Structure 1
């Protein structure tokens, strides 16, 4: 199908236009691209051909210069791109700059600066609390309803969709073991998340208020926070996740701009505790997003977590992340935390889906409690778009390969 002839309502139509970075077939040169249907448009080449003032901004091997340009530039470039792919008079000029997706190589679309991951789903937090603290009167920790809990991760191991994930090794110790042992993780898990990509930086000492979210966050990406539960369980007291999380985090090759998700904005769940002023969003625009996520293992759907149920919003997470004066850098990435809904088939991790291994999943490829070598995990998602359309987010896929470490 020719690139312009995308059927009306196509989830990657002109109402979507996510950004990525690609190399054309037979070339090592990386360039910014925009997806339309099953093609990718070389945005910089199109801009140069049309004499656009945005050619320099788009003419880089990463999205970082565009991210750093700020909200006005983001909106202006998006309007220009929409016109380029919809106005008939541009067709002849930019047609040569479309490439079939099957003939390009997709790359990590931005240079990741810092990476932070949160714990923002009440359903997930309650499930985890019930699994590990079954005798506690409240599965939530005392601070959970007062602030978005998070940890600082490792930006250097954020990888693009399709990158193989090597089974991590480290120390693990079951409660009945007399001493820790070293070896490959035997409880490798996934976490279905949404990542938020920061564009506009800040100076140290200047927190971002809730109202500043859209001025600093460029867009969203699906994110798989791979987790070695056995390593994590032994190491996380008292400082939290470390080697059990830092070995790999997979993100989509496509970043969906926030402007594409305006129709998906929803009110978050009711607050059950009074919030401190910097987190109080009762007078703010709706801060939640209606994203419908699907997780498949080896092609078999295992769960469908709804992002609309997340208790803490991305705006609250950004406000909390900077309230101490921590600065933002262009390319910062922060994860929502595992997305889990209230139903059993909406849980966003194998830890919850199998209740810590008690209830194995019965897949066509065999029973699973945690991931085996060769398993491939795929995250997809969509959101309501304008005029009854859907917005599809770029998928995230990763296949587990054996550890090179001997037990």
Structure 2
């Protein structure tokens, strides 16, 4: 595929992608939907207002108002067949030999109002998030962390291979890429062997490299979503950094799991890559030799998505290093299995709900998705351009990148998921 719009080779936002997000500009501060394409965005509110969707006759024109909303929730709720229809149309609009030249290619007035430089827009949370659930589907991460605390023989708890372990997180502190976060305060044990906590800023601040999935439409209370139908409930995917205060977590997590160690912030990338855009990159995940309960058994083997993942840390002094290169193929549980398990109790998911995969890690050095693993629990420092780190320091910026595909002209990527740690508030 080629476009009449110049799209740089290596762009995450190729014609094969067409991700959706929420933007604003200094000229028009109202939040509204857009797609990313190369080094530009298409303002969908301006595009719709200017008649850009006139040739999309299969789309109910009384629903064009979804492109004037301040979040993507209304568009997401229309369901995957509609997402597929709109994405295909918008891709066709940008083709060199577009069947709809009057929609944008030969419409300089609409280009001026709707086609904007990506560098000139501000991005926002793409959806209003009502609930956030974080899973633990990265088996290598689960094994590595379990080994640190319980030894390899008892690294995985007995339930791990039988069900997608998860916990309910805090939706209100999910932030869009580029939002800085303050180091949290909390109760921590001051030294190994101590039994009485002290109250102070977290000293063992960590990252968690994850994928996030947004729910497009929900299920009714008491009606579980079957695993082989769960794909239709997924709107799209984002990159995620589930920041973790390990010293706070160590003291608080027994018996009910993470709380303040996680709720101070979770960063997601700004652009939602639609589920259909990632379908060509399906592959087989990690093997599971356990006989699963029937509600978790899938008919398809290519149940995970192959996404290349990288993590950089840049220090306040400007030193920078790529500390992680791994793949989302390192997940034991698929998104349909996570959704099926989440709802098997009758729990009702809703449009805009966010699910996290859990930390994605490989098995080799340089493939781990957390500093806890890379530093062996804080015992071994890593190098960041001449500086050393065991955990994050104030001023450190973490950048996560992710993309599918190897053809540099047809990458399906997320852009970046960026967050900086600021000093704790006084």
TM-score (norm: length of structure 1): 0.95
Q: Distance in 2 between matches of 1:323 and 1:375?
A: 41
Q: Which residue matches 2:162?
A: 146
Residue 261 of structure 2 aligns to a residue whose secondary structure is helix
Residue 123 of structure 2 aligns to a residue whose secondary structure is strand
Stretch of structure 1 that moved more, 342-351 or 267-276: 267-276
Matches within 5 A, 1:273-352: 273-281=290-298, 283-284=299-300, 286-298=302-314, 299-352=320-373
The CA deviation at 1:195 is 0.1
Matches within 5 A, 1:43-82: 43-50=44-51, 51-52=53-54, 53=61, 55-82=64-91
Q: Which runs of 4+ in 1 moved over 3 A?
A: 7-11, 385-388
Query: What is the Cα-based RMSD across aligned positions, in Å?
Result: 1.8
Q: Which residue matches 1:16?
A: 17
Q: Distance in 2 between matches of 1:61 and 1:6?
A: 27
The CA deviation at 1:138 is 2.8
- Matched length: 402
Contact kept in structure 2, 1:31 and 1:44, CA below 8 Å: yes
2:124 corresponds, among 107, 110, 114, to 107
Contact kept in structure 1, 2:19 and 2:35, CA below 8 Å: yes
Matches within 5 A, 1:169-248: 169-173=185-189, 174-248=191-265
Structure 1 position 92 matched with structure 2 position 106: yes
Question: In structure 2, do the counterparts of structure 1 residues 365 and 108 end up closer, same or farther at CA, with 3 Å as the change threshold?
Answer: farther
Structure 1 position 252 matched with structure 2 position 269: yes
Matches within 5 A, 1:32-47: 32-47=33-48
Q: Which residue matches 1:379?
A: 400
Q: Which residue matches 2:317?
A: none
The CA deviation at 1:166 is 0.6
Contact kept in structure 2, 1:221 and 1:394, CA below 8 Å: no
* 1:111-158 superposed Cα distances (whole Å, 9 cap, x missing partner): 011000011111101101110112x62311000010010000000000
Stretch of structure 1 that moved more, 123-132 or 91-100: 91-100
Q: Which residue matches 1:155?
A: 171
Q: Which residue matches 2:384?
A: 363
Q: Which residue matches 1:272?
A: 289
Question: In structure 2, do the counterparts of structure 1 residues 64 and 386 end up closer, same or farther at CA, with 3 Å as the change threshold?
Answer: farther
* 1:61-115 superposed Cα distances (whole Å, 9 cap, x missing partner): 1101001111221111112211222224431334121111111111111101100
Stretch of structure 1 that moved more, 231-240 or 165-174: 165-174
Q: Distance in 2 between matches of 1:284 and 1:21?
A: 34
Structure 1 position 120 matched with structure 2 position 134: no
Q: Distance in 1 between matches of 2:23 and 2:10?
A: 25
The CA deviation at 1:10 is 4.2
The CA deviation at 1:14 is 1.6
TM-score (norm: length of structure 2): 0.91
The CA deviation at 1:3 is 7.9
Q: Distance in 1 between matches of 2:94 and 2:129?
A: 29
Contact kept in structure 2, 1:385 and 1:391, CA below 8 Å: no
Contact kept in structure 2, 1:263 and 1:386, CA below 8 Å: no
Residue 235 of structure 2 aligns to a residue whose secondary structure is strand
Q: Distance in 2 between matches of 1:8 and 1:363?
A: 29
